[in-house]
Amino acid sequence: MIENLKEIDARFEEINRLLCDPEVIQDQPRYRKLTKEHAELSPVVEAYQRYTRLASEVASQQQILTDPDEDQEFKDLAREELPGLRKHLAESEQGLKTLLLPRDPLDNSDIVLEIRAGTGGEEAALFAGDLLKMYLRYSEQQGWRTELLSSSLSEKGGFKEVIVGIDGNEVFKKLKFESGVHRVQRVPVTEAQGRIHTSAATVAVLPEADEVEVEINPNDLRVDVFRSSGPGGQSVNTTDSAVRVTHLPTGIVVQCQDEKSQHKNKGKAIKILRARLYERMLEEQRQEQAAQRKSLVGSGDRSERIRTYNFPQGRVTDHRINLTAYKLSAVLAGDLDEFVDALLTHDETERLKQGEARLDG
Residue 323: which H helix or E strand, with range?
strand 323-325
Higher pLDDT: 140 or 239? It is: 140
Q: How far apart are CA 198 and CA 183, in angstroms?
A: 7
Residues 78-98 have a mean pLDDT of 87
Of the listed ranges 83-97, 188-202, 264-278, the one predicted with least confidence: 188-202
pLDDT score, position 233: 39
Number of domains observed in the structure of the chain:
2
Higher pLDDT: 336 or 276? It is: 336
Question: Are both 95 and 130 inside the same structural domain?
Answer: no
Cβ-count burial of 343 within 10 angstroms (0-12 exposed, 13-18 middle, 19+ buried)? Answer: buried
47 within domain boundaries: yes
Q: How far apart are CA 321 and CA 297, in angstroms?
A: 8
Tell me: pLDDT of 289 over 70.
Answer: no
Question: Are both 133 and 45 inside the same structural domain?
Answer: no
283 within domain boundaries: yes
Q: How far apart are CA 217 and CA 135, in angstroms?
A: 33
Residue 332 pLDDT grade (very low, low, confident, very high; cuts 50, 70, 90): very high
Question: Are both 237 and 322 inside the same structural domain?
Answer: yes
Question: Are both 181 and 232 inside the same structural domain?
Answer: yes
φ/ψ (deg, to 5) at 250: -110, -15
pLDDT score, position 2: 78
Strands 221-226 and 159-167: unpaired
pLDDT score, position 190: 66
Question: Are both 145 and 219 inside the same structural domain?
Answer: yes
Domain containing 18 equals 2-99
Contacts of 136 (CB under 8 A, 6+ apart): 146, 164, 334
Tell me: pLDDT of 146 over 90.
Answer: yes
Residues 87-116 have a mean pLDDT of 84
